Amino acid sequence: MELSERKKKILEVIIRDYINSAEPVGSRTLSKRCNLGISPATIRNEMADLEELGFLVQPHTSSGRIPTQQAYRFYVDEIMEIRKLEKMIRTDIHRGFLDYNNELGTTISHTAQVLSKLTNYTSVILAPRITNYNCKHVQIIPLIKNRVLMVAVTHEGIAKNVEMSLSSEVSEVMALKLSNVINGFLKNSFLKDMNSGFLDQIQELSQEESNLVREIIPHLKKALFEDASEIHSTGLTNLFNYPEFSDVEKIKQVVNIVQEKQVLSEILTGNESGKVVHIRIGNENDNENLKDFSIITSTYELDGEMMGAFGVIGPTRMNYDNVSSVLNYIRNELNLHISNLLMK
């Protein structure tokens, strides 16, 4: 799929133009914009070639051309580059983060806001998640009757709540004892290896106590391994301003996606490419509802381990340039900031 330099240039200009205007691009307008000094007729020939190669389509005969998803993919892979943001914007973002330097939760929702503001699309962000290996400490707190709250804390200092009903009422003293049993195990082993077998090794537990622990463990595992983390989203209405969303059906699609936290979370974490900024265009999305959208995601880390993900949802006619650059920068800022917040 080798394109001549000129074809490449023409394709680039068409894509850029279409991303801006959402209008099919014709040869006349193009010849003015593209400073190659070639006439509309020549451009028409080149465009016909590009159409044959699958990069362009005409909404109808005798209209201008619009880029295909293949064209966007080519643009993303071969043409565009992740830019460094303007100095002013960089310092703006940086200062913004400093204002939210106390709370993990507010940092996360602040990030979502910055993202949607800078890109004018819809942003989503997944709060730090609990990983397989990092559960450090749990605490059982009696609520009422046979209901208890379990708080699990990771090595990174992230807490998660699990509420549950047990088979009998739990006193404060009992809660403390149960916590201690589980924590004793966690000191030496990983949560994933925890099964009810370890109880046999502990002599001083009454029948009731070990029953309770047996009830608790599945809840703990489920909460940590299966439950979706909290997810934030802002700028949903940003999308409604784009002409491709004048159709109510399209709006429904995107609203549904953003409300389906579970789906969203899978989308955000599914990055097979291994790239820092991961771009999925239209059909490349597995989710049926996302086939008409593009989504660009990235992740943030702590101490080398992936903690969460964030991204931007927009039309396939997305400003890939800008969004990638923003995501790339935010990623760095977020990493820095979270590490300041949590690291020993």
CB 159 within 8 A of CB 200: no
Interface residue with DNA among 35, 62, 102, 207 (CB under 7 A) is 62
* C-alpha neighbours within 13 Å on the C-beta side of residue 145: 6
What does the binding site for a copy of itself look like in residue numbers (CB under 8 A)?
102-105, 137, 139, 141-145, 147, 149, 151, 153, 155-159, 161, 163-165, 234, 236-237, 240, 245-246, 248, 251-252, 255-256, 259, 341-342, 344
Which of a copy of itself, DNA, none does residue 44 bind (CB under 5 to 8 Å by kind)? Answer: DNA
Counting contacts by CB under 7 A, is residue 29 touching DNA?
A: yes
Q: Closest CB to DNA among 36 and 341?
A: 36
User: Shortest approach of a copy of itself to residue 99 CB, angstroms?
Assistant: 14
Sheet containing strand 122-126, strands side by side: 231-234, 122-126, 305-315, 293-302, 278-281
Long-range contacts formed by 195-198: CB under 8 A, 24+ apart: none
DSSP-derived secondary structure letter, 76: I
CB 228 within 8 A of CB 263: no
| Options 46-54, 238-246, 299-307, 324-332: segment touching DNA (CB under 7 A) | 46-54
Q: Closest CB to a copy of itself among 283 and 340?
A: 340
Counting contacts by CB under 7 A, is residue 22 touching DNA?
A: no
Long-range contacts formed by 47-52: CB under 8 A, 24+ apart: 47/10, 47/14, 49/7, 50/7, 50/10, 50/11
User: Shortest approach of DNA to residue 77 CB, angstroms?
Assistant: 25
Q: Closest CB to DNA among 42 and 332?
A: 42
Counting contacts by CB under 7 A, is residue 28 touching DNA?
A: yes
C-alpha 198: how far from its chain's center?
37
CA–CA gap between residue 165 and residue 143 (Å, rounded)? 10
Counting contacts by CB under 7 A, is residue 51 touching DNA?
A: yes
Give the helix ranges, DSSP H, for 142-238. Answer: 172-188, 207-221
Which of a copy of itself, DNA, none does residue 74 bind (CB under 5 to 8 Å by kind)? Answer: none
To the nearest 10°, report the CA torsion of 104, 108, 109, 112: 170
Counting contacts by CB under 7 A, is residue 248 touching DNA?
A: no
Counting contacts by CB under 7 A, is residue 89 touching DNA?
A: no
Residue 138, Ramachandran bin (φ over 0: left; ψ between -120 and 50: alpha; else beta): beta
Which of DNA, a copy of itself, none does residue 58 bind (CB under 5 to 8 Å by kind)? Answer: DNA
Which of DNA, a copy of itself, none does residue 228 bind (CB under 5 to 8 Å by kind)? Answer: none
Q: Closest CB to a copy of itself among 197 and 304?
A: 304
Measured N-to-C along each axis, helices 172-188 and 207-221 cross at an angle, to the nearest 10 degrees, of 60
Nearest CA to 285 out of 53, 54, 69 is that of 69
Q: Closest CB to DNA among 42 and 210?
A: 42
Backbone phi, psi, residue 123, to 5°: -110, 150
Q: Closest CB to DNA among 7 and 136?
A: 7
Q: Closest CB to DNA among 22 and 336?
A: 22
DSSP-derived secondary structure letter, 265: H
Which of DNA, a copy of itself, none does residue 163 bind (CB under 5 to 8 Å by kind)? Answer: a copy of itself
Interface residue with DNA among 20, 22, 54, 63 (CB under 7 A) is 63
| Residues within the interface to DNA (CB under 7 A) | 24-29, 37-42, 44-45, 47-48, 51, 58-65
